[in-house]
Structure 1
Amino acid sequence: MTEQTTRPNPHRDDEDDHPDVVVSVGTDHHAFDRLVRWIDDYARRHPDLSILVQYGHGSAPERASGVPFLPGDELTEAMRHARVVVAHGGPGTITQARSAGRMPIVVARDPELEEHVDDHQLLFVERMEGAGRIRGCSTAQQLHTFIDKALASPEDFRVAPETDGGAERAALRAGELIDLVTDGATTEPVTPTAVVDDTWPEVTVVVPTRGRPELLRRTLRAVAEQDYPGRVTTIVVFDNDRPDPSLALDEGERRVEVMTNTQTPGLAGARNTGVLAAVTDLVAFCDDDDTWLPDKLRAQVEIMRSEPGTDMVCCGIRVVYDKVESERVLDRTSVSFGDLLGSRLTELHPSTFLIRRSAMVDGCGAVSEEIPGSYAEDYELLLRLARRGPIRNIPEAGVRVLWHRKSFFAERWQTISTALRWLLRRYPEFRLVPRGYARITGQIAFAEASAGRRGRALRWIGTTLRARPAEGRAYLAFLVICGVPPGWILRILHLRGKGV
């Protein structure tokens, strides 16, 4: 990457012309294109601002001015004169910004997006934010909001360099912190040493798994590191796969049990195996390729404690696909059966489910093992639980959901079509809600078209348009019939955090 590939940088031609916003991704050999893309989006909406991005080994910005690297003294000088400083989660860059008198807005590099070799920036930024030394953010919306605040109230984003005791001392403190958060870090689940508060109910987390050992260990680690005062037992259920006994933890307050699926093979049977083995009233689900954010469980259990009549609590998600992260949060606190007939509400992802075990075992029943291939078993469970009473929702993201080609239902078109037709037969109420009925028939049309069954796809397209002419899935299915690859369509949708 050379400077000749970038847009001209007008801010370096005139010593008195300094950029309003300075962004630094550091010198790590991994690209940090996500941050550059977020800044470009902000630059498009604010053409009056001058923005300089030091973008390192990644792609140059399209709208903001960019330079791959800057000498340290030039970058410090630019930070000192900037109205806003945005940085990656490197201790050196954060210290540099504070030594320039700026409270940096920080976005940590994420190893899941191949932005770093490990998660030490995520841990470091979390602790620095807790100490009030940075403004941390993890979504484009948060970043843009912080930049707006810094421009509107610059005094809130200024620090006195002398209070840090100089750059050298700040760097030493940063090094101590980074040693603290990375000391002994492994891919194994960890057991926190915090004292458990027995007034908080114990929770059982059911994690079905098959053939994803590395992702599974990351999932277990996120559960173990929950900021939750009570005990947590995780039951890992291996479905059509050899169990790994090394995952089991019998001591501490974050226990892990390992077992095989004793019910119907598939996702539904694996979930039920864990639910039936649980001895706690509260049961949570988490897929083996997803990770909980630290305060997810505490926030949900707080609702369960204060609302004894609530059977289920969900929350929002952050969808990660092909190095792009999108936030999906449902802007409501209660969801009814009618709401779910009208829309799947994909924000209510199974990895966000916290359920009273009695509501399933002694109430509406366990996860349906009749659904072909276990496809949409989570949605069907939502429908049954919503019939008992409204489902509570926390309108904040609590889970990072990884979408990838190894997902259980990726391109299993026949299974998807069969399962959705089963759902329509089981819930005739869909015909009373044209929008919801057309959504499902449109999904069936897309699946049939993707499977190459043109005649069936055309019939389902017709059914969809008769129910709701504006249903976009019918037109997507028609594009597939005309030769557009379904994978291309799915990729465009997934990059926006959406699906068919």
Structure 2
Amino acid sequence: MTLRISVVIPAHNRVHLLAETLDSVLAQDHAPHEVIVVDDGSTDATLSMLEAYAGRITVGCIPHSGAMVARNAGLRLASGDVVAFCDSDDVWLPGHLQSMARLWEAAPGLDAAYANFRLVRDGVWAERDKFSDAPPGFFAGARLLGGGLALFDEPPFPRLLRFTPFFPSALAARRDFLLRTGGWDEAAPPGASRDFATALRVAEHGRIGLVLSATVSIRQPARLSPAQVQRMNLDDAAILDHVLATRPSLLPHAAAIRASARRRRLQALETAFVRQDFAAVRAIAARLGATPPLRVHAKIGVAALPPGLRTVAARTLLSLGTLRSQTLRRVAQGA
């Protein structure tokens, strides 16, 4: 029997990008069972543009509530066996849903699956795919199914505390599984990392399949600035605090979750120091708890100095760090 895959697309003020997304979804080799666009209170011409797709899509409308609520609204409307999600500015290659269907054929008891993806900037696909950025050992133990497919037989939650290659536009999951596990986590703290809470939920409970080739393009208008990287690390840490506080089932992983949140805050502190955002350094330091590493302790001390003195001290400390890095690199190269 052909796997019925519903597609849910949340959209808010994306009139200039949504048509490309829809065209890529409707052109899939494995035709979607249905395509549901949930308009999240758009104030532009999104709804008018969707009239051109009448008869080929279903449109649901909600007051502006954010992507999590919109995805859950689409999930409830869906009638397929599996629901695949695509954000309104992302694009699928024609074989994306076919790869998902092959995964369920190879592993009928699958709960969810993620495809690999590449970032796209100004219409140009990045050379490296996301899975290639995974740390050594991240995919160890994944069972190869052939044809560029693989499977985590055990829920991969602990792996996501180190690295997260899973993105909403690359997710497909059994509808009943998502509903049973609570769908998209609407209570997650606001910020760019809100999807992380749901990725952790899926990874905690499910047998996860993998499409190893990049069948999804994630649009990113520009490289992230240091300030954005700092914010994302803090958002990730807040999500980890949230899941530990709201999911008693994660208590066995409490130490690892706290360690991951601390590591992300340390990374954010380092970035803040380089940016000379000393107020952020002090605020992050207050959340670290246990004594930080010596190099970080020195930066916290510098951030507490009077304004004129701390600027000079910060430049000195950063120059010493650069000199040390250069020396270590020469030693490693045998210079």
Is the shorter-chain TM-score for this pair beyond 0.5, marking a shared fold? yes
* Mapped contact 2:9–2:36 kept (Cα < 8 A): yes
* Mapped contact 2:121–2:222 kept (Cα < 8 A): no
Counterpart check, 1:367 vs 2:171: no
Of residues 283, 302, 306, the one that matches 1:456 is: 283
Structure 1 pair 211–380 and aligned structure 2 pair: CA distance change class (3 A) = same
The answer for the alignment partner of 2:171 in structure 1 is 353
The answer for the alignment partner of 1:342 in structure 2 is 161
Of residues 297, 317, 338, the one that matches 2:97 is: 297
Once the two structures are TM-superposed, the CA of residue 293 in structure 1 deviates from its matched residue by 0.9
Structure 1 pair 234–374 and aligned structure 2 pair: CA distance change class (3 A) = farther
**SS state at 1:201 partner:** coil
* Deviation readout 1:224-249 (Å, 9 max, x if unpaired): 11111x44322112223135144143
Structure 1 pair 211–433 and aligned structure 2 pair: CA distance change class (3 A) = closer
Counterpart check, 1:431 vs 2:259: no
The answer for the alignment partner of 2:111 in structure 1 is 311
Q: Distance in 2 between matches of 1:311 and 1:445?
A: 37
**SS state at 1:316 partner:** strand
**SS state at 2:16 partner:** helix
Q: Which amino acid aligns with 1:291?
A: V
1:29-428 equivalences in 2 (<5 Å): 199-228=1-30, 230-242=31-43, 243-248=46-51, 249-251=53-55, 255-261=56-62, 265-321=65-121, 323=124, 325=126, 326-329=128-131, 332=142, 333-335=150-152, 336-346=155-165, 348-361=166-179, 363-373=180-190, 375-404=192-221, 411=228, 417=234, 420-427=237-244
Q: Distance in 1 between matches of 2:24 and 2:181?
A: 30
Counterpart check, 1:440 vs 2:264: yes
Structure 1 pair 356–417 and aligned structure 2 pair: CA distance change class (3 A) = same
Q: Distance in 2 between matches of 1:398 and 1:378?
A: 19
After superposition, the CA RMSD in angstroms is: 3.7
Once the two structures are TM-superposed, the CA of residue 457 in structure 1 deviates from its matched residue by 2.9
Gaps of 5+ in 2: 133-138, 143-149, 245-250, 304-312, 316-335
* Mapped contact 2:72–2:184 kept (Cα < 8 A): yes
Structure 1 pair 443–261 and aligned structure 2 pair: CA distance change class (3 A) = farther
Q: Distance in 1 between matches of 2:57 and 2:80?
A: 14
The answer for the alignment partner of 2:247 in structure 1 is none
Once the two structures are TM-superposed, the CA of residue 270 in structure 1 deviates from its matched residue by 1.1
Q: Distance in 2 between matches of 1:405 and 1:290?
A: 15
Q: Which amino acid aligns with 1:208?
A: P
Once the two structures are TM-superposed, the CA of residue 369 in structure 1 deviates from its matched residue by 0.8
Q: Which has the larger radius of gyration?
A: 1
The answer for the alignment partner of 1:143 in structure 2 is none
Structure 1 pair 385–239 and aligned structure 2 pair: CA distance change class (3 A) = same
* Mapped contact 1:344–1:379 kept (Cα < 8 A): no
Q: Distance in 1 between matches of 2:295 and 2:6?
A: 43
Q: Which amino acid aligns with 1:441?
A: R
* Deviation readout 1:268-310 (Å, 9 max, x if unpaired): 1111111111111211111111110111110111212332211
Aligned residues: 268
The answer for the alignment partner of 1:123 in structure 2 is none
Once the two structures are TM-superposed, the CA of residue 445 in structure 1 deviates from its matched residue by 3.8
Q: Which amino acid aligns with 2:282?
A: G
Q: Distance in 2 between matches of 1:359 and 1:374?
A: 26
Task: Give the share of equivalent positions with the same residue, in percent.
Answer: 24
TM-score by length of 2: 0.67
Q: Distance in 2 between matches of 1:358 and 1:342?
A: 26
* Deviation readout 1:105-149 (Å, 9 max, x if unpaired): xxxxxxxxxxxxxxxxxxxxxxxxxxxxxxxxxxxxxxxxxxxxx
TM-score by length of 1: 0.47
Q: Distance in 1 between matches of 2:259 and 2:236?
A: 19
The answer for the alignment partner of 1:52 in structure 2 is none
Q: Distance in 1 between matches of 2:47 and 2:223?
A: 20
Q: Distance in 1 between matches of 2:229 and 2:10?
A: 19
Once the two structures are TM-superposed, the CA of residue 423 in structure 1 deviates from its matched residue by 2.7
Q: Distance in 2 between matches of 1:358 and 1:213?
A: 31
Once the two structures are TM-superposed, the CA of residue 405 in structure 1 deviates from its matched residue by 5.5
